[in-house]
């Protein structure tokens, strides 16, 4: 079983890494796809040209939103999990800038134009953050979570031994979104070549939003209530076996997921699910918290089919660690009617809300 085999959904989960070029091709492809599958009439050249022009406009809009969207100044980094005090911190951009005192010079595996070029990265040594928060005993791993729900897990010992940094600057410039910024996890590959095979390019996480030390305790918010592990353990256990779509780090074959049904969780919190309402599921990454496009499940699905909050996986019922997006992930039986949405395999589930 190869836990590190990248799962293909990650590519669908990273719209913002698309270069302008890739976006326009994607749009043209989507539009052509609609034509080719939607009806038997072939579009005329004039129609195709009009679609192409529309795609170009949409692409320009996408780039504009990317630019005007959440910029560096609004970017925050949350660090939590198994810290010595159990507390987490949320660092603002100015706090991050104040902590950025480490420089490294290294090749950047994502610099495809000039792979040999040595790039100067300036940022925060992860060890500095770990020292500040304190790492609870026996914690072996730290997981970096990105805006697009991508994850990258690094050994604590390596973070202390090497200047692995959260970079804020690349060649003295702020790092743009299309270059993986504003916060980019960078490894000193050139100075320490032994890191190249252990942490190849897929570990260099773009647009980092969260650092999880070890795995967080289960804390599920439902309105004013918070359910912890012992509250969930009181509910009837349920197991699903599905091919999962979590971004990265899961087996490609069918996997057993053990947890509790969302309808039981809502009932335990005293929440009703009126007809025609929805349950909104929010997870750690911003793609799972988009107010304009929440991950929502119909009340009828919550009632009629198996939708669970998974906390363990496999035959051995292993707790889902942060490495795999735990301690709580969303799992939906393929028998449910719920609309296909790439994001529905929510990792790091933190909150449920019943909404109209
Ligand atoms: N946030 C984020 N970081 C990411 C990824 C991603 O999808 N999202 N992909 C990773 C993988 S699998 C690789 S190989 C490289 C891809 O970098 P490239 O797009 O420059 O080739 O970035 C890594 N960092
Ligand atoms: Mo990759």
- Give the chain's domains with CATH numbers: 9-68 (no CATH), 73-213 (3.90.420.10), 220-355 (3.90.420.10)
Picking from 130, 129, 109, 108, the residue whose alpha carbon sits closest to that of residue 119 is 108
Segment 47-93, tens digit of pLDDT: 555 555 545 544 444 444 454 346 778 899 999 999 999 999 999 99
Q: Are strands 349-355 and 219-222 parallel, antiparallel or unpaired?
A: parallel
Are 346 and 287 in contact by the 8 Å Cβ rule? The answer is: no
pLDDT at 47: 53
- Give 244-269 pLDDT, tens digit per residue: 989 888 999 999 999 999 999 999 99
Which of 2, 5, 150, when mutated, tests ligand 1's pocket best, judged by the most ligand atoms within 8 Å of its CB? 150
Ligand nearest to the CA of 247: 1
CB 156 within 8 A of CB 139: yes
What is the per-residue pLDDT for 45? 64
The C-alpha atoms of residue 264 and residue 261 are separated, in whole angstroms, by 5
Our answer on whether the CB atom of 201 is closer than 6 Å to any ligand 1 atom is yes
Residue 132 has pLDDT above 80, yes or no: yes
Query: Residues 141, 157: contact at Cβ < 8 Å?
Result: no
Residue nearest to atom 17 of ligand 1 (CA): 110
Q: Please tell me the distance between residue 131's alpha carbon and the centre of ligand 2 in angstroms.
A: 30
> Is the Cβ–Cβ distance between 166 and 123 less than 8 Å?
yes
In this prediction, residues 323-343 reach a mean pLDDT of: 87
User: What b/e string do you get for 118-156 counting C-beta neighbours within 10 Å, with b at 16 or more?
Assistant: ebebbbbbbbbbbeebebeeebebbbbbbbbbbbbbbeb
Going by alpha carbons, the residue nearest to atom 22 of ligand 1 is: 202
CA distance linking residue 319 with residue 315, whole number of Å:
11
Condensed to tens digits (0 to 9), the pLDDT of residues 188-224 reads 999 999 999 999 999 999 999 999 999 999 999 999 9
Tell me, what's the pLDDT at 296? Answer: 92
Taking the C-alpha atoms of residue 189 and residue 88, their distance in angstroms, rounded to an integer, is 30
Tokens of 42: 């072939």
What's the CA-to-centroid distance between 323 and ligand 1, angstroms? Answer: 16
Residue 10: pLDDT band with limits 50, 70, 90: very low
């Amino acid at each position: 079983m190869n836990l590190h085999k990248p799962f293909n959904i990650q590519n669908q989960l990273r719209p913002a890494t698309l270069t302008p070029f890739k976006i326009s091709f994607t749009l043209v492809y989507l539009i052509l796809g609609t034509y080719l599958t939607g009806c038997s009439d072939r579009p005329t050249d004039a129609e195709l040209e009009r679609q192409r022009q529309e795609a170009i406009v949409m692409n320009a809009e996408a780039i504009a939103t990317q630019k005007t969207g959440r910029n560096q100044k609004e970017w925050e980094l949350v660090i939590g999990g198994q810290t010595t005090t159990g507390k987490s911190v949320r660092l603002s951009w100015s706090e991050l800038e104040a902590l950025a005192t480490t420089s490294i010079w290294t090749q950047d595996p994502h610099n495809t134009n000039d792979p040999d070029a040595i790039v100067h990265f300036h940022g925060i040594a992860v060890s500095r953050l770990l020292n500040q928060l304190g790492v609870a005993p026996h914690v072996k791993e730290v997981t970096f979570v990105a805006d697009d729900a991508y994850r990258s897990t690094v050994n604590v010992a390596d973070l202390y031994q090497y200047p692995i940094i959260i970079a804020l600057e690349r060649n003295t410039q702020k790092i743009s979104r299309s270059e993986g910024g504003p916060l980019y996890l960078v490894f000193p590959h050139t100075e320490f070549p032994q890191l190249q095979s252990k942490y190849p390019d897929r570990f260099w996480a773009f647009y980092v939003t969260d650092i999880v030390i070890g795995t967080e305790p289960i804390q599920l918010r439902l309105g004013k209530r918070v359910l912890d592990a012992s509250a969930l353990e009181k509910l009837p256990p349920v197991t699903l076996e599905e091919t999962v779509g979590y971004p990265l780090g899961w087996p490609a074959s069918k996997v057993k997921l053990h947890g509790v049904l969302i309808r039981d969780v809502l009932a335990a919190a005293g929440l009703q699910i009126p007809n025609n309402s929805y349950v909104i599921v929010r997870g750690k990454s911003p793609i799972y918290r988009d107010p304009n496009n929440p991950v929502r499940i119909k009340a009828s699905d919550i009632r009629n089919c198996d939708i669970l909050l998974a906390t363990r996986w496999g035959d051995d019922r292993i707790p889902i660690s942060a490495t795999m997006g735990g301690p709580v992930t969303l799992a939906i039986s393929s028998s449910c009617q719920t609309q296909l949405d790439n994001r529905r395999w929510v990792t790091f589930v933190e909150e449920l809300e019943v909404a109209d």
